[in-house]
């Protein structure tokens, strides 16, 4: 069971959370069974415009982008290490071609503050309301090697979500 944390005192190993544990980004509307999820390993948690926020990056080719564009909320969810294969599957399989969430064995559940789902198996769930987006512009890359991440010129769209609630296993 997850317990709600104080958003302003949330402390996590931010870089490791993204780069080592990975997160599952979910967007859509749980109530209407219209949602998708994908694994993300790039992002941040911080403060902007006096809002605690989560920042996520989604390539234009990803099916989840359609849900991020259509719906105003999203969640990011962390899982125990034994779900690594599930996260790998969810990050490498498109929801356009199959019902990958059902195949993953994860249990989508209603969030507390947003329409996007969270997951019963998650150890950490952060519920967010979108407040800003921006497409990467390669003319602004200051390190030439950044371009190596974009052999297909499929530059990420960055979303900022104001944190509405954080829930963690006790």
Q: Across the strands, what pairs with 48? A: 51
Predicted confidence at residue 12, as pLDDT, reads 80
What's the pLDDT band for 23 if we cut at 50, 70, 90?
A: very high
Altogether, the residues listed in the chain come to a count of 170
Is it the case that residue 79 has pLDDT exceeding 80? yes
pLDDT in tens, 96-119: 989 999 999 999 999 999 999 999
The domain total for the chain is 1
Structural domain harbouring 108: 2-169
Query: What pLDDT does 151 receive?
Result: 96
Task: Give per-residue pLDDT as tens, 116-146.
Answer: 999 999 999 999 999 999 999 999 999 999 9
State residue 1's pLDDT score: 72
Largest CA distance in the chain: 46
**pLDDT the model gives residue 11:** 80
Closest listed residue to residue 76, CA positions, set 10, 26, 120:
26
pLDDT at 170 over 80: no
At 130 the three-state DSSP class reads strand
Q: Mean pLDDT in the chain?
A: 95
- The pLDDT-based confidence of 8 (bands split at 50, 70, 90) is confident
Question: What pLDDT is stored for residue 97 in this prediction?
Answer: 87
The CATH number of the domain holding residue 28 is 2.30.110.10
- 168 pLDDT tier (thresholds 50, 70, 90): very high
Given the structure tokens 């998708």, which residue do they identify?
36
Residue 10 has pLDDT above 90, yes or no: no
* Token representation of residue 91: 């990050």
pLDDT digits (tens, 9 = 90+) for 88-98: 999 999 999 89
**CA 133 distance to own-chain centroid:** 14
What pLDDT, on a 0 to 100 scale, did the predictor assign at position 155?
A: 98
């Amino acid at each position: 069971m997850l317990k709600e944390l104080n958003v302003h005192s949330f402390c996590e190993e931010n870089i490791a959370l993204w780069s080592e544990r990975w997160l599952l980004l979910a967007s859509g509307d749980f109530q209407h069974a219209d949602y998708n999820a994908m694994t993300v390993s790039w992002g941040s948690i911080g403060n902007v415009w006096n809002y605690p926020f989560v920042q996520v990056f989604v390539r234009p080719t990803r099916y989840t982008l359609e849900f991020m564009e259509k719906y105003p909320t999203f969640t990011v969810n962390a899982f125990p290490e034994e779900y690594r294969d599930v996260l790998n599957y969810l990050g490498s399989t498109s929801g356009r071609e199959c019902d990958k969430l059902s195949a993953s064995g994860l249990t989508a559940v209603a969030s507390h503050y947003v329409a996007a789902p969270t997951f019963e198996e998650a150890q950490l769930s952060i519920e967010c309301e979108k407040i800003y987006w921006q497409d990467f512009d390669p003319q602004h890359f200051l390190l030439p090697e950044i371009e190596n991440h974009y052999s297909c010129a499929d530059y990420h769209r960055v979303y900022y979500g104001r944190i509405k609630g954080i829930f963690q296993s006790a």
